[in-house]
A and B are shown apart, each in its own frame.
Chain A
């Protein structure tokens, strides 16, 4: 039989979870934080062929005349969590600077390698490497999580981006990226 002491501990735990879920889980939550109003794109297809359709994001960016900040993150990638947590912690300061951008969050996993990842734009679906070559991105040789692309509303790359996000995890450097400093 459960003792009063154990019941109180259990109740206490339940209350903590119920009352403070964002605090405990915020650091673990995956993806771009809601403060950036991301358009989340889940892959279609199985693990052997994960296809991300950029069509709806592109259409919306054109409607709203916004640039695209496309983020590819993996559910099991610690570097991705680190960048997402950086964005979360600095949302108040960075948020206004993201206003001209439509943030697109592609939900992937590390098992989705370059051969398994496909990008669809309109009627054309391309594997990662071909997609990168088609837009002249130097990161075609290797897929690194996380990956960020910057596009204009016509899906023209605005700047060659680095693999990973480690070089823009300070507010100052994130602003460099948004201001296309090269």
Chain B
């Protein structure tokens, strides 16, 4: 159920850091379960929030819009607004000469719009990623792909979410927080992009959710960074936010050149460190 008011938390602080703190952030009670907002918004449309973010993040650098270099796949209406599946598809092979070096994932209308920044190396092989996002209200979700030659490419989707009457998430196993799990959906392919799934068990609390029992806000508590490597070589680093769903998950690629260990170093907003690993090959 929607929360009636918004405390000043890490969320707001991070929003201010991005320079969007001055935006009229309306109370959650009027932002959840909304229906009736303009539905004729196009997937490729801009928004005032985006215009502001664009200036803060990229200055006056030109950004090419369209799905020629990077494509964002997201449903118009997801099953749950708290867990919207998004897929980033790069239309560029990851080579040392030209590769995706950074990916920004944004949700225009979220209180803290920058959900993730990924720093990539050519070791990902193919710069495709999948994750799940919290989308607080009707909003564009955007991906901006920064190539090693400095070009910026963007694709976007308009996503509709709202609330309803439901039970709060399960918080019965706090001892599992930080558990970091790798899985390979298929066998590894030596010398070729191999898909891997990474999940960090974590509430990724936004700070806006009311505990129905204590009637207190649950403090924000989320995964801040993940560094993924294979055989000691960096695959990607992720700077994250609570716009990622509970139990943050990433599907990504890496190129194994031989047997090695896939490893993730995780730091959350309480400066707690967690690690997870998987032997491959």
Contact = CB atoms under 8 A, between A and B. Distances in A.
A166 B33 contact: yes
A114 B170 CA distance: 14
B75 A160 contact: yes
A141 B77 CA distance: 17
Q: Which bracket fits the contact residues of B?
A: 20 to 34
Contacts of B76: 176, 181-182
Q: Which of B35, B76, B162 has the largest number of chain A CB atoms within 10 A? A: B35
Contacts of B79: 137-139, 160-163
A173 B163 CA distance: 16
* Consensus secondary structure, chain A interface: loop
B75, B83, B166, most chain A CB atoms within 10 A: B166
Contacts, number: 92
A165 B165 contact: no
B167 A79 contact: no
A98 interface: no
Nearest to A132: B79
Interface residues of A, number: 34
A169 B35 contact: yes
A7 B271 CA distance: 73
Contacts of A74: 165
Given A113-B167, A144-B166, A165 B75 contact: no
Interface of B: 33-36, 39-40, 75-81, 83, 138, 160-167
Interface of A: 74, 77-80, 86, 110, 113-114, 137-139, 141-146, 160-170, 172-173, 176, 181-182
29 contacts: A74-B165, A114-B167, A137-B79, A138-B79, A138-B80, A142-B167, A143-B166, A143-B167, A144-B165, A145-B164, A146-B164, A146-B165, A162-B78, A162-B162, A163-B164, A163-B166, A164-B33, A164-B165, A164-B166, A165-B35, A166-B162, A166-B163, A167-B161, A168-B35, A173-B35, A173-B160, A176-B76, A182-B76, A182-B77
